[in-house]
Structure 1
């Protein structure tokens, strides 16, 4: 299994690396640190580039990647890559595809209140286009120990069963306790849903999943919780979140098949969430084997643990 880490030489990049290490340690995965260099284009500020500029930029990017690799402990295999792309988001998506990555891991903007999530332009683009799960680290994320609990946000709309199944299979195969959460806003935007309604619906989904697979819930530590508040943000705030926890959430119904689209409710959850979030594409066919389970995908262009691809071998995304 491999995770692509969208690395930047700032706190956001460090947050992404820390979360990637925590996930890799739980699954025995390898990490691919990817930095994006802009393509040569007549629309760039300077075109054609000044003599020697490309070499200077490549050397600087290589140094930044060395610094990023230095953040990764020796028990985690990591490789660094430089790619070119018209946009950072599209280049990262292409890198994840080329490297057969199971997920894309990025850090949130550092401008959010209380060191939580603020989705910048790159994260926003990924959350509306990626075909693999996108994992977001909150600003200031420093934990590198393995993930200790999985929470799965399950709503009442179409697609909830798929997200629930991903949560159930992931927790079972990785031996993680699972918390199933439904969030209810009791204010003006509640749509008439009550806590009792949400609880009944959530338990019904669990029972239906168990009916499809009689052994699915065996030896699985499940907690079913309904969070409520005046708003969705209040409901998220009212829940207890552990330091080693991560949240799984599905994509909006507006998403095209097998891609991500972060809906309005997920955006509101993100604004209040104090732990990392995994956004799963719509109609996601993967299970724990793809998301949080070791696989046998061969390492591509890896020169060994903690190695940097030569900066002279700059790859153009999608080519």
Structure 2
């Protein structure tokens, strides 16, 4: 990835804590990968007033001013975070939907990654999915990287490891190989983790519940070994099986480094060429204590 100027990062710029978290994470990506960045503020299109087709000029002027202020603030903050000015460009974009607006700009500039922050109502250290993230996580044609709330206050100096939430399925090889290429390009070790949820009340319902869980863990370990062996030998790969009373509890047993990034694959039921967050992947995103990148199933083609 390093030095490939056709690879561009797009970051959503908003004048609040959510914007600060996204900028801190995007700056770390740009400094590490040495790629350019486009900062975007999506503002509302305005409200019709005084007759069909007309719009309140004062309201539009106010929205434009706010957008320009957000972008100026983002440029200053990114410079403070060590992003060279020559690597930055900024756009103000009017759209009725912030998430769809970011997608349109990403397609226009050829961005390969969209970075946003958590919804402000979320728990600190976790990702809350607001309307912008929801639109991106059900329609982006490129990977979406989400910063947990408060990430700007505790952002690490560097990335340390890429962990992939892995389940064996027929369309997993492409995204897995793409994740391995990212890890190799950033010189990061890679870890494959399979979460094995234990159904509540299993022991009370089944006499051989422990044996059943042991079989599931053994199968997960076998799948992980096969997946790790399929990757390029130049990628450092560790594997781990985590068991818990549910996906959230299982993920809670997994140790995360300060510079960890968690990769999550789109749901198999979603469109091939777009991110689509299913129930399981949604739980992983919300439970993760570190940034999460959600990969479309077609990401290998990029």
Which TM-score applies when normalising by structure 2? Answer: 0.85
Structure 2 matches for 1:166-315, cutoff 5 A?
166-188=178-200, 194-207=216-229, 209-210=230-231, 216-218=232-234, 220-286=235-301
- d(CA) in 1 for partners of 2:298, 2:140: 13
Matching of residue 119 in structure 1 with residue 129 in structure 2: yes
Q: 1:29 deviation in Å?
A: 1.4
- d(CA) in 1 for partners of 2:183, 2:63: 43
Matching of residue 2 in structure 1 with residue 8 in structure 2: yes
Q: 1:87 deviation in Å?
A: 1.0
- d(CA) in 1 for partners of 2:178, 2:45: 37
Match 1:71 to one of 77, 98, 107? 77
Unaligned ranges ≥5, structure 1: 211-215, 291-319
Give the RMSD, CA atoms, in angstroms. 2.3
Match 1:140 to one of 142, 150, 153? 150
| Aligned partners of 2:189 and 2:237 also within 8 Å | yes
- d(CA) in 2 for partners of 1:163, 1:200: 19
| Aligned partners of 1:153 and 1:182 also within 8 Å | yes
* Aligned match of 1:103: 113
| Aligned partners of 1:189 and 1:231 also within 8 Å | no
With a CA cutoff of 8 Å and minimum separation of 6, indicate the structure with the bigger relative contact order: 1
* Aligned match of 2:29: 23
Q: Secondary structure at the match of 1:95?
A: helix
- d(CA) in 1 for partners of 2:73, 2:185: 34
Matching of residue 152 in structure 1 with residue 164 in structure 2: yes
- d(CA) in 1 for partners of 2:174, 2:242: 21
Unaligned ranges ≥5, structure 2: 1-6, 203-211
Compared with structure 1, are the counterparts of its residues 174 and 189 closer, same or farther at alpha carbon in structure 2 (3 Å cutoff)? farther
Q: 1:270 deviation in Å?
A: 1.5
Q: Once the two structures are superposed, what CA deviation does each residue of 1:166-223 show, in whole Å capped at 9, x if it has no partner?
A: 222222233211111111101249996621111111112223x25xxxxx113x3221
Compared with structure 1, are the counterparts of its residues 200 and 51 closer, same or farther at alpha carbon in structure 2 (3 Å cutoff)? closer
Q: Secondary structure at the match of 1:20?
A: helix
- d(CA) in 1 for partners of 2:150, 2:72: 21
Q: How many residues align?
A: 279
* Aligned match of 2:4: none
Q: Once the two structures are superposed, what CA deviation does each residue of 1:239-285 show, in whole Å capped at 9, x if it has no partner?
A: 10011111111111121121110111111111210000111112223
Compared with structure 1, are the counterparts of its residues 47 and 40 closer, same or farther at alpha carbon in structure 2 (3 Å cutoff)? farther
Q: Secondary structure at the match of 2:226?
A: helix
| Aligned partners of 2:10 and 2:115 also within 8 Å | yes
- d(CA) in 1 for partners of 2:274, 2:57: 41
- d(CA) in 2 for partners of 1:128, 1:20: 21
- d(CA) in 2 for partners of 1:56, 1:122: 22
